[in-house]
Amino acid sequence: MSHYPHPIIAREGWPFLGGSVLFALLATFFLGVAWSIPFWIVALFVLQFFRDPPRAVPGDAKSILAPADGRIVVIEPALDPWLQRETLKISVFMNVFNVHSNRSPVDCTVVQRWYHPGKFINADLDKASTENERNALHLRTADGQDITCVQVAGLIARRILCYVAAGAKLERGQRYGFIRFGSRVDLYLPKDVRVKVGVGDTVQATSTILAEFP
């Protein structure tokens, strides 16, 4: 998969942005400036939601980067439901004001991809990891470390987009998917990683190092 060139606005947002600006222009023309203000506010919200800025890639091959912008809501031992192994789970919750492009946490090969339909409860809740619609990737680094990276839909999010399949090669920070309108990403990591963040911390996709391999 080629690198997305980061034109500031995510490609997934152009239809929404174009439509909202068109409605705002029509409202301005037919209703006047004052009545068009709510339409322009919606257009500004769409613009900020679909922003997709480039990010510098920190650390080295041992660094595990944040796959999404948001807030750390979970750091705990957990059973990886996809690979059936004991892991350390780190979850990042994205609200509607975060960047929603998802990026690879490590240099890796995609071993397997799973999609599971489900509910759309609040992604801030722990049960969202097991009950909501989700898309999981089994990632393997060159030295054999396994990570499961799971995109989880939320209360408002109704579309998970993933552009890679088994066999794809990803670099740290490379864009691989997008979730519309609020959600979370769960990482299931080897138990012996060194965690660099805490619950409640705000993180940025690619820019923040979540943990390091030993």
CA distance linking residue 116 with residue 163, whole number of Å: 16
User: Helices 14-31 and 33-49 sit at what angle, rounded to 10 degrees?
Assistant: 170
Q: What is the DSSP code (8-state) at residue 82?
A: T
Our answer to whether residue 183 is catalytic in this structure is yes
C-beta separation of 169 from 142 below 8 A: no
Helix (H) or strand (E) holding 161: strand 160-162
Helices (H), 32-180: 33-49, 128-131
> Which pair of structure tokens corresponds to residue 64?
């595990």
Which tokens go with 128? 């969202």
Identify the active-site residue in 20, 104, 129, 183. 183
- Burial (Cβ within 10 Å: 0-12, 13-18, ≥19) of residue 127: exposed
Q: DSSP H helical segments within 74-178, as ranges? A: 128-131
DSSP state of 118: -
What does residue 43 show for φ and ψ, rounded to 5 degrees?
A: -60, -40
Catalytically active residues are: 183
